[in-house]
Structure 1
Amino acid sequence: MKKKGFAVAILLVFLLAAAGFVGAKSLYETKPVPKGERHSISEIIPAKAKWEKVVKGDGGFMEGINFDRKGDIWMVSPMSGELLKVKGNKVEQVRKYPGPVGAKFHKDGRLFITDITGVIHAYDPKTGKSETVVSTYKGEPLNGLNDLVFDKDGGLYFTEPMGSSATNPVGRVFYLPANSKEPVLFADKIAYPNGVAISADGSRVYISEFGKNRVLAAPAKNAPPSPETPFVFGQYEGGIGPDGLAVDKAGNLYVAHFQAGEVVVQDKDGFKYGTIRLPEGTGTFTTNLAFHEGYLYVTESSKNEVWRIKVNKEGLVPYGLQ
């Protein structure tokens, strides 16, 4: 009986391994090696495309750019503690918060805002009222928060970088299920998790590991079972690290490379198209990105300017505009 049980156990292990191999093979299916260069940045931006300055702010540190259903631009400034809105050719203060860093619209019209105090606020533009959505994890206060993104189900990923660095990688990423006030831990031991985005097919979460100048990819919370594990999606040179992220409908990832004055573009397999460098004389604090009506919008926070450039790809429609 013991020998029979042992044989059954061995067979079970073999079958599980075979199933894992089949799954891995389907996921990591080999592709023909291209004859020439894989990509050119001209696939992303038209040959004659030029940067256009959209607006300039008076102060603060503008980032967290979003568009509402009317096409109006919203931003935040952690330095001056402002929620901002662009009206005409001016940036105007809408409301004060302790330290707003990131912002994303919910389908219901509220703007969810991460704060360096460890809180997520929900601001209603219709009523002007604001409420606290999240402030703790397992009864303990959260550290300073940075960026956030909704998935297709209304769940919310958000980053908690404060206190972490390249030499102290204790940053965390959380997931807040839809209609819940209790976040769950999604990833930890990260060197300053900054920007966060979701792949076009919803299967991956991209995390800017600012302290190590790279972007990580991890299976999404509600993704179908897969042998894929978290891995380094992109490693960058120069600057300090990746900040805000954006994804187009083809699955390409756009990375605001802070202190480099550029946007790095990669395909869904991690190969680079190249970089889109901001115009000469502009600052290098590229912080956040957003797509709108055929343009890629970029916040440059050292000079408090918003720039845009024509792109060939259509951006993913964010949850708040679906």
Structure 2
Amino acid sequence: MPTRTHTLTALTALALLTLTACGTEKAGTSDARPAAAPASGAGHTIRATQLSHVTDPHKATGMTLLEGPVLTKGGDLYVVDVTAPPGEPKVISVDVKTGDHKGVYSDKTGAYTSAQISPHDGRVYLTEYQSGDIISIAQDGSDRRTFFSGKIDGSPMNPDDIAFDDDGNLYVSDLHGMKTGEAEGRIVRIDRDGEKTTVLADKLAHPNGVMFDPGQKGLWISELAKDTVSYLLLDAEKTTVTTRHEAIHVDAGVAQTDSIAVDAAGNLYQALHGRPAMAVFSKYGERLGTVEVPAKEADGLQSATNVAITPGGRAAYMTVSGPKGGYVYEFDALAKGIRLSNGG
């Protein structure tokens, strides 16, 4: 059993994992370079406003990192704090009307990198980076269950983001150790009963975001160490990738591609680690704009990790973190949200 010191050290290492130097490997089945997107800042600015100051850096870990925004049917926004030490809230509920927040769930060891609600059972699913487990809890934070634990094709996962299809099957980005200079990441499908697993894609350069297109014909995935967004077309059963190509290269400078969301029009919201902003693209790769926090508030904020867009509405909620703390910012999406746009 690891000591408290070892646990906290691992939490800090996890929060720093996305600061690892970029790899240079090519991944994918196409040799063609993806179409270069216009330089960062191209298109119009979508201004975000602060909704809630949720966390401060923890004394034990020296930092905070909010991720995994997802809206419940009751209208609350759930976020996870990746670096929360034992005993402090790891899943936090934010009232989107008032900005008030409260802890929903905590445990002694988990380092949770995303939260998502299954359309099959309505439970909140959490990816635990350190153990490789995926757990689920009731929406009130009770009834913790281990949904998946173990190795896939002989090696454990380091799961990051989740996307659900309408039947409740999971599609997980697996950082798979995330070593500098190596492209060993995977996209893994886990059937909704947690019994059958399939590796849909491998040899990826630190895959982070994973999200279906609105028609659920394919998956958009981002590779942190390549600053690329790729499209994986799936077969009718969603168990095999029929084609795979790099679709967008994000010219983000020192920032890197984090999580992905989509809206009803198929627009992509690409979160940026290293800059408190999101790049927005059409499904054809056209840079439509950039979601940014006000310049006077950006000091001390380093990353916008993810976003949830209200199903049936345009209100969007972005998790932003840095030495100043963990925040939720809100903005108007370019199109209405759908179930798939509600976190990842």
TM-score (norm. length: structure 1): 0.78
CA offset at residue 166 of structure 1? 5.6
Instruction: Provide, for residues 51-90 of structure 1, a one-character-per-residue CA deviation record: whole Å limited to 9, x for no partner.
Output: 2211112233111100000110101111115111125533
Give the match for residue 117 of structure 2.
Answer: 105
The secondary structure found in structure 2 opposite 1:147 is strand
Give the match for residue 77 of structure 2.
Answer: 73
| Structure 1 residues 227 and 207: alpha-carbon distance in aligned structure 2, compared to 1, 3 A threshold | closer
Aligned residues of 1:152 and 1:319 also touching (Cα < 8 A): no
Correspondence for 1:84 among 88, 92, 97: 92
Residue correspondence of structure 1 range 115-194 to structure 2 within 5 A: 115-116=128-129, 117-126=131-140, 128-138=142-152, 140=154, 142-165=156-179, 167-194=181-208
Q: Which amino acid aligns with 1:254?
A: Y
Q: Which amino acid aligns with 2:218?
A: R
| Structure 1 residues 231 and 111: alpha-carbon distance in aligned structure 2, compared to 1, 3 A threshold | same
- For residues 339 and 288 of structure 2, the distance between their equivalents in structure 1, rounded to whole angstroms, comes to 22
Q: Which amino acid aligns with 2:304?
A: T
Q: Quick check: 127-136 or 111-120, which moved more?
A: 127-136
Give the match for residue 64 of structure 1.
Answer: 68
Q: Which runs of 5+ in 2 are unaligned?
A: 1-41, 57-63
- For residues 227 and 111 of structure 1, the distance between their equivalents in structure 2, rounded to whole angstroms, comes to 27
Residue correspondence of structure 1 range 1-322 to structure 2 within 5 A: 41=43, 50-59=47-56, 60-80=64-84, 82-87=90-95, 88-97=98-107, 98-107=110-119, 108-116=121-129, 117-126=131-140, 128-138=142-152, 140=154, 142-165=156-179, 167-220=181-234, 222=236, 229-237=243-251, 238-280=253-295, 281-282=297-298, 283-292=301-310, 293-302=313-322, 303-318=325-340
Q: CA RMSD in A?
A: 2.6
- For residues 211 and 246 of structure 2, the distance between their equivalents in structure 1, rounded to whole angstroms, comes to 15
Q: Quick check: 105-114 or 77-86, which moved more?
A: 77-86
- For residues 166 and 214 of structure 1, the distance between their equivalents in structure 2, rounded to whole angstroms, comes to 17
- For residues 318 and 251 of structure 1, the distance between their equivalents in structure 2, rounded to whole angstroms, comes to 10
TM-score (norm. length: structure 2): 0.74
Count of residue pairs the alignment pairs up? 277
Aligned residues of 1:166 and 1:212 also touching (Cα < 8 A): no
- For residues 269 and 289 of structure 2, the distance between their equivalents in structure 1, rounded to whole angstroms, comes to 10
Aligned residues of 2:176 and 2:186 also touching (Cα < 8 A): no
- For residues 141 and 133 of structure 1, the distance between their equivalents in structure 2, rounded to whole angstroms, comes to 18
Q: Quick check: 101-110 or 52-61, which moved more?
A: 52-61
Aligned residues of 1:288 and 1:298 also touching (Cα < 8 A): yes
- For residues 241 and 157 of structure 2, the distance between their equivalents in structure 1, rounded to whole angstroms, comes to 32
The secondary structure found in structure 1 opposite 2:51 is strand
RCO (CA 8 Å, sep 6+): is it higher in 1 or 2? 2
| Structure 1 residues 118 and 224: alpha-carbon distance in aligned structure 2, compared to 1, 3 A threshold | closer
Q: Which amino acid aligns with 1:83?
A: V
The structure carrying a bigger helix percent of its residues is 1
- For residues 225 and 192 of structure 1, the distance between their equivalents in structure 2, rounded to whole angstroms, comes to 21
- For residues 174 and 224 of structure 1, the distance between their equivalents in structure 2, rounded to whole angstroms, comes to 11
Q: Which amino acid aligns with 2:54?
A: G
